[in-house]
Structure formats: C-alpha cells, structure tokens
Amino acid sequence: MSRIKQCFKNLEKSGKKALIPYITAGDPSPDYTVTLMNALVKAGADVIEIGMPFSDPMADGPVIQLACERSLAAGTSVKKVLQIITEFRQGDKETPVVLMGYLNPIEFFGYQAFSDAAKEAGVDGILLVDLTPEEAVDVVECFRENEIDLIYLLSPTTTPDRAKKICDLASGYVYYVSVKGVTGSAELDVDSVKKHVDSLRAITTLPIGVGFGIRDAKTAAAVSQCADGVIVGSVLVNAIAANKDHQKEYIADALSAILLPMRNEMDA
C-alpha cells in the first residue's frame, strides 16, 4: 500500500482529517527545506506538498510566485529538489511527499527519467498543474510503473463529465481548488466548498483535499468537516518570506506557530 493511501486509511480509522501543508523547495535556500519539512511534520502535517520552483507558475498568486523567484535565485533545480527529498527520507520514512509544479521542467528532464529519479528519492505523488487529462495518457503510465500517485486539480468550474474523467485518471487523492482564481486570492465560502465536495463524492472514492483560501485554524477546521484533507499553502509561504533573513530554525518555529493551531482545531 502506498504511503498516501496508508496515511488516509490510518486517519479514517482514527476519525481525523489530513493536514497537508505546502512550501516551495529551496525557499529561501535549499539548505533550509529539510528543516522546514521536519518542523511541519512535528506540528501535525500528515502529507507534505513540495513546490518545484518554476519561472512562470500561472496558477499561483504573488506570494508563491515570489517564493519561486527566491528559490530559483538560490540555485534550486529539479535535481536539487529531488536531493532535498532524498535527505528528508533519511530521517522520515513515513510521511508522504507530493511534488507540485508545472510540466515544462519535467518534460525537459524527461518523464521516465524524472519518474525513476523521483521514485528513488522517495516521492509518493506528483501534481502537475498544467498537465491536462487529454495529454496525460503516456505520462500516467511512467508514474504508475513507479507507484507514484498522479494527483489532479478540480475547480468550482469543472463540469461533472470532466470531473469524472479526471477522477478516473487520478490516484492518491484529488485536490479541489476552493476558489476561482490563483493561490491566496479570495475568501473561502465553506458552504460552497461542501456542496462541491459532496458532488465529487458521487463520482470518486478517492480522498478529497481542499486548498486555496485556507489561512487560519478556523477555516481549516471548517473545511475539515466536509473534506478528507486540508491543504495550506500561501499563509506558510508568506511566513517564510516575512522571515527569510532569519536562521532556518526561526522560520521553522514560525511555520509551526501557524500549523499547530490548525491541527488542534481540526482534531477538536
């Protein structure tokens, strides 16, 4: 059983929901990322999404765009991201890691070569924002061979027919984008999220994670009432930006101070 599937199975047994934080690899420095990942796990993360920096992250708002710029300026490459995951795996064999990014760097690396390298590094899932189901047929197979889950985005504007097609291709979990817009762009309408999540449950048995617009413990707890996972990104990345000139331990404490109340509220 994959780490992602096992994680959600264990959470279901205990009556809890997954807390899934996102940070950008290499922000503000590649040397910081493993320390930050470990801090997220200690603060209650069940799965970690790691952004692979890209020069044109079209689904992301200014906060994550700037994180990508800082990371790239610090010399973070796709190979460096995989080295970071390898280092993390030396101390953590259990926490699922999902890489999130865009198609261009992976296509340049080579799908099969990247899939093989990701498997060796200890990656559990991949979310490529701009990989559409129609273009994913050949790509899906090279990741499936390596037992790496392909995670897809669904949005408020996804039609039922298309949602079914996406869910049939996906594995691990599906990522429901709770707002119309880029990351960090809008206030969350929890009632609307619940309505859409309920409709998705009619077409898939996969766990459903909800992201975009979750900024605090209150909204995390509210979303956890209807979703299987709560995905938190921009608020954490913003905290990294605000403290980027400090030591990594200081930034780790800042992230923990955000995530731990979310964990506590969700469990309560």
Tell me which residues are annotated as active site: 49, 60
Query: String of b and e for 60-82 (b: at least 16 CB within 10 Å)?
Result: bbebbbbbbebbbebebbbebbb
Residues for the chain: how many in total? 268
Locate 95 and state its tokens.
């926490």
Strand order across the beta sheet in which 153-154 lies: 149-150, 125-128, 97-101, 48-51, 18-24, 229-232, 208-211, 174-177, 153-154
Contact 117, 78 (CB under 8 A): no
Spatial distance between the Cα atoms of 258 and 268, rounded to a whole number of angstroms: 16
Q: At what angle do helices 234-242 and 62-73 cross, to 10 degrees?
A: 50
Query: Nearest to residue 190, comparing CAs of 175, 207, 157, 212?
Result: 212
Residues β-bridged to residue 48: 97
Spatial distance between the Cα atoms of 133 and 211, rounded to a whole number of angstroms: 20
Neighbour-count burial of 59, counting CB atoms closer than 10 A to its CB (0-12 exposed, 13-18 middle, 19+ buried): middle
